[in-house]
Amino acid sequence: MLYLITFITAIPAFFFYAPVLDDPRYILGGGGADTSVAFGAFLELLLIIANIGTAVVLYPILKRQNEILILGYVTARVVECAFIAVGILSLLTVVTLRQEAAAGADAASLITAGESLVALHEWTRLLGPGFFVGIGNGLILGYLMYKSRLVPRPMAVLGLIGGPLIIASGVGVLFGVIEADGVVQGIATIPEFFWELSLGIWPIVSGFSPSAIARLEHHHSR
């Protein structure tokens, strides 16, 4: 359920942020959509809670498979959430500056500040959900689920494929090889998207494999 919450909160938040992301002059005041941006921030706060929750809930189960790797997953999740939090603060700062724009600040300076804060938000999205997700959810969690057999191995392979693709696309954007949010990056996120979605659906519908749980408990008790 926590994984499903990450989808329910992350995707709509992007659309609620649209007024500030799409309009460089938003910061100058006028008919601002501050409530929309605030609601997007609220959704991402819930996203942070759900993200960390997925790691905390899985830790006692998967530490029986490999405690070092599951600690790495928890760490990657926390780092991802730190990037998300910085992105939230950057857009809320734009809203604050917009509300104070009537105080007579220079318009050109305000626009420059707003564009800088929006650019910061875009980089946090690239390096958090667009890079560390590939390491944590993709490679580490995919490997742990593949080895433990808690879920069907073909499903875990989605994470092992999707993780490197997200990492590679993030590096590609970082060095200007591919366009941010372009077609190539969009295609690269597909396996990871379905991997995380399956992690939200499969355990609810079928649960973890009983034989895999028994094997992990036996291994842990020795």
DSSP string, 27-67: GG-SS--HHHHHHHHHHHHHHHHHHHHHHHHHHHHHHHHHH
Q: What percent of the chain has pLDDT over 70?
A: 94
- pLDDT score recorded for residue 100: 75
- Indicate if the pLDDT at residue 20 is higher than 70: yes
pTM: 0.90
Q: What are phi and psi of 19, to 5 degrees?
A: -55, -40
Summarised one tens digit per residue, pLDDT across range 165-179 is 999 999 999 999 998
Domain limits for position 102: 2-221
Residue 132, both tokens: 């560390």
- pLDDT score recorded for residue 104: 61
Summarised one tens digit per residue, pLDDT across range 85-128 is 999 999 999 998 888 765 566 788 888 889 999 999 999 999 99
DSSP annotation of 137 reads: I
Q: CA separation (Å) from 189 to 2, 66, 108, 134?
A: 20, 27, 37, 9
- Indicate if the pLDDT at residue 218 is higher than 80: no
CA 151-153-158 angle, to 5 degrees, is: 100
- Indicate if the pLDDT at residue 164 is higher than 90: yes
Residue 181, both tokens: 């949010």
Rg for the chain (alpha carbons), in Å?
A: 20
Q: CA separation (Å) from 58 to 65, 87, 138, 152?
A: 11, 26, 15, 17
How many domains, in total, are found in the chain?
A: 1
Where would I find the H helices in 141-189? Answer: 141-148, 153-174, 183-188
